[in-house]
Structure 1
Amino acid sequence: MTGGWLSVVRGGIAALGSCAAVGAARAETILGAPVSGQMGFLPANTVVQADIEWFHNDILLPVTIGISLLVLVLLAYVVYRFNEQANPVASRTAHNGPLEIAWTVVPALVLVVIAVPSFRLLSQQLIIPAPDMTLKVTASQWHWNYGYPKSDGGFSFDSLIKEDKDLKPGDIRLLSVDNAAYVPVGKIVEVDVVSQDVIHSFSVPSFGIKIDAVPGRLNKTWFKADHEGVFYGQCSNICGIDHAFMPIEVHVVSPDAYQAWLEGAKKQFANADGVDVAQTSLVRP
């Protein structure tokens, strides 16, 4: 009997271990896209986005909820304590020194609590570490162009939304594109963003990046994806009639898969309209 129970326990432990391993493997591949009924942020896949979520959930939300409840309690107290029936003769009090000091000092302290971590987060977003690769993103009405460095082949390609009739199983309506950008996992990617016409905004929530694409100006941001997966974003500036049809799709893959994709992409995108894009500017005149 003892041996039988030991076998059962060992089998259960082995099964739990297998489930944990499968769960961990699945956790390495993330889908950075909204789902029906979802509330809150998309899955974070960078340290920056994880810190943004921490700042929102652990700092801003408690402060917001606390101030809202305090104001609600004060309003209820004022209605109860200082209504006409309770105070038929109105008070002529004009000043209260301690109260005036309190409502000046307390908000200042709240702002300090918010400011200190926000400055750290801003510096983390704006100070770009030495990149492993640079991805050039050119915005147009109404699509994106991705340019890869010469070290990776020096090619570029347009990325346009998939029409409903072209959607395949696994595609997401209004988010999937014909040519997605690919980047290797665990590498620092600098993103150089420009525009050919009007102001756009390159935004991928799971990476914690959102930066304007301005004509005549080069803006930079960066990310380092922690896990493999497919991540979506959209242009987040109203840029014209087809603003809603300008999605972003980024595949984060292993270094080997990225090299394999590069080999195919070099052949597919090396020449566009007979022009060697590796030798030309990605910003069209």
Structure 2
Amino acid sequence: MGWNTFAEACRATRRVSVSAAMGALAAALFLNAPAIAQTPGLPSPWHLGMQPAVSPVAAEMHNFHDLLLWIITLISVFVLALLVYVIVRFRASANPVPSKTAHNTLIEVAWTVVPILILIVIAVPSFKLLYFGDKTKQAELTIKAIGKQWYWSYEYPDNGNFTFDATIVADADIKPGQVRLLETDNPVVVPVNTNVRLLVTAADVIHAWAMPAFGVKKDAVPGRTNETWFRAEREGVFYGQCSEICGAYHGYMPIKVQVVSKEAYAKWAEEAKQKFASVDGPSPRLADARAAQ
């Protein structure tokens, strides 16, 4: 076999291998379409884009994202077209004698004014979104989230001022239907269609309370209480995580929020007052145990 024949055989084999690999990938994507479908409130393998919005703040964030996507796409297409024009129009073969132009007032004004106008178009909805997601004046429920190494504690001052810890469910304790690394032993429970004021702080180092489906990501800083809000507009279970690198077990600080009907929430709150500790005193279970002694 000559060298040319051998090289051609290698190229043919490589083409077949690449084609087979691309075909296998396409088949895997299409045949496993249900497996890569986005689950509300939960990240999914191969999912592109953001989780479906379930709060007004998240919906506005998605709208702002789409606006920016259109803007950067148009800018990229314009720059690409300009590069192609310059390459073709001013190539050496078409311009044996290069131009010595060093100044063009119109172009210089345009490349100064146009970016300013683009930034103004971006700034107006950006500031509106910042103020909209900052806080709410019509809060119907207040929850305080306290970041600790490495779990979250929650306080419900409006429903008996009880508190509980939410720690990750270990792999050995995961039950069918639960999500590894995102399950907690005690979920945050909130009523649907309710403006929830969320106060965020930390007991040791900086953490961050993040819930993508709600459009919430707020830093938890020791000695400081930050505020944000959300309103879940449909019932379900939603997951988030600490989004600040806070130590060795940073990846094991999940957040689980269960959105229920207002009737179910009222029932849960009554049970929680008996189940969990009071912020200002011992838990009901501890008080009962001491009384029994």
TM-score between the two structures when normalised by the length of structure 2: 0.80
Structure 2 counterpart of 1:91, one-letter code: S
Larger radius of gyration: 2
Aligned counterpart, 2:44: 35
Partner of 1:90, secondary structure, is coil
Residue of 62, 69, 79 corresponding to 2:77: 69
Residue of 132, 136, 139 corresponding to 1:131: 139
The answer to whether the 8 A contact 2:155-2:161 is kept is yes
Partner of 2:274, secondary structure, is helix
**1:13-69: per-residue Cα shift (whole Å, max 9, x none)?**
xxxxxxxxxxxxxxxxx8311122211111111111111101111x10100101111
Partner of 1:275, secondary structure, is coil
Aligned counterpart, 1:191: 198
Question: How far off its partner does 1:271 sit?
Answer: 5.8
- C-alpha distance in 1 between matches for 2:218 and 2:95: 56
The answer to whether the 8 A contact 1:227-1:252 is kept is yes
Aligned counterpart, 1:55: 64
- C-alpha distance in 2 between matches for 1:85 and 1:215: 66
The answer to whether the 8 A contact 1:140-1:198 is kept is yes
Partner of 1:138, secondary structure, is strand
When the two structures are aligned, how many residues end up with a matched partner?
A: 245
Alignment of 1:10-159 (within 5 A): 31-57=40-66, 59-149=67-157, 151-159=158-166
- C-alpha distance in 1 between matches for 2:55 and 2:40: 14
Residue of 277, 280, 293 corresponding to 1:270: 277
CA RMSD of aligned residues (A): 1.7
Aligned counterpart, 1:26: none
The answer to whether the 8 A contact 2:275-2:283 is kept is no
**1:150-170: per-residue Cα shift (whole Å, max 9, x none)?**
x41211111111111111121
The answer to whether the 8 A contact 1:129-1:188 is kept is no
- C-alpha distance in 1 between matches for 2:195 and 2:203: 26
Percent of aligned pairs sharing the same letter: 51
Partner of 1:266, secondary structure, is helix
TM-score between the two structures when normalised by the length of structure 1: 0.82
**1:208-231: per-residue Cα shift (whole Å, max 9, x none)?**
111100011110001111111111
Aligned counterpart, 1:231: 238
Partner of 1:80, secondary structure, is helix
- C-alpha distance in 1 between matches for 2:277 and 2:262: 21
Question: How far off its partner does 1:107 sit?
Answer: 1.0
**1:143-190: per-residue Cα shift (whole Å, max 9, x none)?**
1001111x4121111111111111112111111111111011111111
Gaps (5+ residues) in structure 1?
1-29, 278-285
Structure 2 counterpart of 1:117, one-letter code: P
- C-alpha distance in 2 between matches for 1:206 and 1:123: 19
Gaps (5+ residues) in structure 2?
1-38, 285-293
Higher relative contact order (CA 8 A, sep 6+): 1
